[in-house]
Amino acid sequence: MVILRFLVPAGSLVIFLTLFVHKILSATCHQPMTPEAYSSIEYNSFLNDQQVFIAVFADDIESGVIEECLSIAVKKFPSTAIRDRFNMISKGFTFSASTASVVNFVRSFDGVQSVNRVKKFYANSVPISWGQDRLDQVNLPLDGRYETDWNGTGVSVFVVDSGIDTNHAEFIDKNNKSTALNVYDVSVKHGKKIRRDNDDVGHGTHVAATVGGRTTGVSPGVKLYGVRVLDEHGSGEDTHILSGLTFVRDWYLSHHRPSPTVVTMSLGGSCLSYLDCETDSVVLAVEKLIRLGIHVVVAAGNDDCDACLQTPAYSKHVITVGASNSKDIAAQFSDFGKCVDIYAPGDNITSACAPAMCSGDRDATGSGEADEPGSDQQYISLSGTSMACPHVAGETSRTSDNMLGHILSLFPFVARFVISMVPPVLPHLLSLLLPLFALGVVAQILEIYPLAPPIEVTYRFPHFYTRASTLRIRPTNRREDS
């Protein structure tokens, strides 16, 4: 027993020293010595032209180390141009390269999680509602009514899209108060005011009104937050999406993890391969949000092909939504495959229309403040998985929080922090923390994270998939790679 009393503190001290030494060793930029250590993704020796890539580093790699790696790359390949540095929900930099050797050299640095081509993300709609009617009943035909005992009160939904025209009547409640607020715009400098009609495409407005519009919304009681990451053409790059997701993460943590919080993303970019999607920066970012306890719902894509070649639809733990029509058949444009979790109404869906889409009318200054709240009252029918995604996002607001998941996720981080901070002169206290550290290690190995809890969606799959009237989505078990 006497020996055991000293073995446990000694073991704790060893753990502390190991973490400390690892921290010191990881503070410089290291490279593998042989080309065999390069990633299995290899580009052709010469690219067609100067292309832009995004390098993402592990979270524990310090900014100084990234800068050192960046300097080494530029010194070795002077023609390499560094476009952007970012330290958001993920950290790294974007760079241009004309040969594969540059890409593989950057990929060889220790701590690099992925190096992929910069992608363009597009709103998943086909310009061309029975959707609500379909949600509240199991069987066809539709009865022309939408009845629900839930309106989403107390739920926060972040619409990561092209912004929201909060002047539209769909976002004004019966007390003449706004139910939608634009909180982030990647093109607006910090501290600057964001317009009320901050949607130059109309896509985000249509999506937001399907989630929580006064008359077209699945859950009209939710609080809608517009996170603009797409430009006036309805497109954006990886770093724009990451910037918006970083805002959501920071907001969620600063508000003490309000639950439920939902992110709806009716956008997507194409991958070169499954491996390209697996290491995609946006896929990695949404996984981080899910581990915090945020529900993430995304559109499958409109290319009539494998959704696993779309980002962020590839992510194993998001809810990926395909589109169905009023006959309960998958829409002909909808992406499909094992990465699609559920189908929802996405064909000819009527929702709010921003002036930018319906009339192109905008005041000369572009400030959007001349219009009164509720002054915009136009509607439009659109098709796409972008329209299906917000139906599920609205239903997702029904779910409750998973406190156990939050507690489990904190074990690894709390244990590491305490062990690294408590002086070695208190070994007995460290021995008390050892079981907590062990549990944290097990939690990481088994990937026990606070993934969004099970969700009940009262909507039937198209008949050729299943006839179950209630689908329970469990993100932790929903699909595994074969």
The Cα–Cα gap between 161 and 31 comes to 38
Terminal-to-terminal C-alpha distance of the chain: 49
DSSP strand pairing (46-57 vs 91-99): antiparallel
Candidates 165, 168, 197, 203; catalytic one: 203
The CA-based angle 251-256-259, given to 5 degrees, is 90
CA 467, chain centre distance (Å):
30
Torsion of CA 382, 386, 387, 389, to 10 degrees: 180
The question of whether 178 is a catalytic residue gets the answer no
Q: Which of 304, 349, 300, 341 is nearest to 325 (CA)?
A: 349
User: 108 an active-site residue?
Assistant: no
φ/ψ of 402, rounded to 5, equals: -115, 85
Q: Is 161 a catalytic residue?
A: yes
Q: Which of 129, 161, 185, 431 is catalytic?
A: 161
CA distances from residue 62 to 81, 87, 443 in whole angstroms, order as listed: 22, 10, 24
Q: Kindly state the helix (H) or strand (E) to which residue 344 belongs, with its residue range.
A: strand 342-345
Options 386, 397, 409, 431, the catalytic residue: 386
Q: Which CA distances in Å does 378 have to 101, 207, 208? A: 53, 14, 14
Half-sphere exposure of 450 (CA within 13 A, CB side): 21
Pairing state of beta strands 156-161 and 261-265? parallel
Q: What is the CB neighbour count within 10 angstroms for residue 442? A: 13
Residues known to be catalytic: 161, 203, 386
